[in-house]
């Protein structure tokens, strides 16, 4: 049994210390999914807590057949969809939607202005394209994982990502001559 | 190779899923097709930009908040359960008492019937006396067995999962057992 399998088993038996380890390990993924889906930091923090409580309550149903992260993200995604439906969480106007600039110096590949533009472009995509781009490129999930979370065949997920990339490419190149000429080779 | 197939390979290349043969095919097409070549360049740039967007850090200490919320919920659930158990135990106690009183009511009717045989014990016929004594013992013993049976039934069927009644009925069972033993001993001594 791997280390993680052991931790999961202990958490399944009600060991909260073990579950805390799992929360620490996956909070970034779960939080980012909530943040992207709910489009608000406070809602995302609340949603993350809610999601982890749901994950804990459903822990016995996890059978190890898929990766724990995939299983947890599936629960998170369903919960976000429910939240959006129930509370009718308003979609924040994209102009007001600013991304925190984490200012660790070595990560400054792209300036915050560009970052904002990328996020804006992604947010302007139709929902189903936006989702897959976020999952694949922002959260670094694999095609298989995304297909598992969304419950769609992998071929559909792949095609959707391909199409979304094309849409973004067109968006970028029509904007003030595009980033490419502006920035040269990234 | 046509542009459509090239497009497929471009995406594969971007995802690092391309093999050597495919890469060679793609390169050959890109060399001969300026449209695709341009398209590939800007696609790659787009994806590069996308991949540079970092995930955000989760809020500080969120794991502690999750754990304390779970503990709070659990505590509340336990409190509710305890409350329900208390009410149930109370109810069971009352019901159990009625059941047992009812059981002993049967017993006393039988005891009365048994006592009827003892009236004749002081007859002159020794054999008849013993016979009456046996009748008395048999009937009063079955009275007690019926009581015990009723109590056991109570414990097993109605309230098995309510520890309050189980203990209560268990205590009564022991009490009834001791009572019976005592009366048997008295009878033997006589
Ligand atoms: Zn071509």
Q: What is the pLDDT of residue B140?
A: 77
Contact B62 A23 (CB under 8 A): yes
Q: What is the pLDDT of residue A112?
A: 75
Q: What is the pLDDT of residue B107?
A: 66
Per-residue pLDDT of chain A (186 residues; tens, 9 = 90+): 789 999 999 999 999 999 999 999 999 999 999 999 998 899 999 999 999 999 999 999 999 889 999 999 999 999 999 998 887 655 554 444 444 444 444 444 567 788 888 888 999 999 999 999 999 999 999 999 999 999 999 999 999 999 999 999 998 877 645 444 444 433
Spatial distance between the Cα atoms of A36 and A59, rounded to a whole number of angstroms: 24
Cβ contacts of A32 on chain B, cutoff 8 Å = 55-56, 58
DSSP A110: S
CB atoms within 10 A of CB A99: 15
Q: Which residue, chain included where needed, has tokens 């298989």?
A: A144
The yes-or-no verdict on residue B26 having pLDDT over 70 is yes
Residue A15 makes CB contacts below 8 A (sequence gap 6+) with none
The nearest alpha carbon in chain A to B16 belongs to A142
A140 vs B123, higher pLDDT: A140
Residue B21 makes CB contacts below 8 A (sequence gap 6+) with none
Cβ contacts of B65 on chain A, cutoff 8 Å = 49
Residues of B engaging A, defined by a Cβ cutoff of 8 Å: 7, 11, 14, 39, 41-43, 45-59, 62-67, 69-71, 73
Q: For the segment B150-174, what is each residue's pLDDT rounded down to a tens digit?
A: 777 766 666 555 666 667 777 777 8
Query: Domains of chain B: which residue ranges?
Result: 3-52, 84-165
The distance of A65 to chain B (nearest Cα, Å) reads: 25
Q: What are phi and psi of B96, to 5 degrees?
A: -60, -40
CATH 1.10.10.10 intervals, chain A: 105-176
Predicted model pTM: 0.67
Spatial distance between the Cα atoms of A58 and A50, rounded to a whole number of angstroms: 12
The yes-or-no verdict on residue B112 having pLDDT over 90 is no
Query: Among residues A131, A137, A168, A170, which one has the least CA distance to residue A149?
Result: A131
Among the partner residues B45, B57, B62, nearest to A180 by beta-carbon distance: B45
End-to-end, the C-alpha distance of chain A in Å comes to 43
Q: What is the pLDDT of residue B135?
A: 78
CATH code 3.40.720.10 for A105-176 = no
Cβ contacts of A169 on chain B, cutoff 8 Å = 39, 42-43, 45-46
Evaluate whether ipTM surpasses 0.90: no
Assigned CATH topology for domain A3-87: Rna Polymerase Sigma Factor; Chain: A (1.10.1740)
CATH 1.10.1740.10 intervals, chain A: 3-87
CB atoms within 10 A of CB A51: 27
On average, the pLDDT of chain B sits at: 81
């Amino acid at each position: 049994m791997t280390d993680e399998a052991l931790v999961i088993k202990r958490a399944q038996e009600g060991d909260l210390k073990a579950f805390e380890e799992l929360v620490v390990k996956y909070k970034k993924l779960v939080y980012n999914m909530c943040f992207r889906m709910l489009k608000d930091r406070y809602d995302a923090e609340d949603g993350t807590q809610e999601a982890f409580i749901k994950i804990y309550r459903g822990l016995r149903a996890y059978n190890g057949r898929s990766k724990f992260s995939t299983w947890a993200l599936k629960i998170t995604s369903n919960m976000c969809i429910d939240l959006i439906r129930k509370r009718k969480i308003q979609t924040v106007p994209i102009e007001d939607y600013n991304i925190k600039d984490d200012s660790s110096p070595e990560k400054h590949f792209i300036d915050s202005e560009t970052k904002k533009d990328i996020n804006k472009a992604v947010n302007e995509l139709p929902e189903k394209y936006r989702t897959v781009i976020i999952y694949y490129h922002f959260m670094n999930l694999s095609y298989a994982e995304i297909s598992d979370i969304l419950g769609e065949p992998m071929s559909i997920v792949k095609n959707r990502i391909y199409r979304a990339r094309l849409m973004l490419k067109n968006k970028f190149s029509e904007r003030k001559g595009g980033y490419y000429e502006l920035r040269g080779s990234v | 190779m046509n542009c459509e197939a090239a497009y497929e390979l471009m995406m594969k290349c971007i995802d690092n899923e391309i093999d050597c043969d495919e890469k060679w095919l793609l390169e050959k097409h890109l060399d001969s097709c300026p449209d695709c070549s341009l398209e590939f360049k800007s696609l790659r740039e787009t994806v590069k930009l996308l991949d540079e967007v970092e995930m955000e850090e989760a809020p500080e200490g969120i794991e502690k908040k999750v754990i304390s919320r779970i503990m709070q919920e659990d505590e509340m659930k336990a409190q509710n359960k305890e409350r329900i158990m208390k009410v149930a135990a109370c109810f069971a106690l009352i019901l159990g008492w009625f059941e047992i009183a009812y059981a002993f009511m049967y017993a006393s009717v039988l005891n009365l019937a048994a006592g009827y045989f003892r009236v004749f014990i002081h007859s002159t016929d020794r054999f008849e006396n013993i016979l009456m004594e046996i009748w008395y013992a048999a009937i009063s013993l079955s009275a007690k067995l019926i009581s015990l049976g009723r109590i056991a039934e109570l414990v097993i069927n109605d309230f098995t999962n309510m520890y309050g009644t189980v203990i209560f009925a268990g205590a009564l069972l022991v009490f009834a057992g001791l009572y019976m033993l005592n009366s048997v001993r008295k009878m033997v001594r006589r």
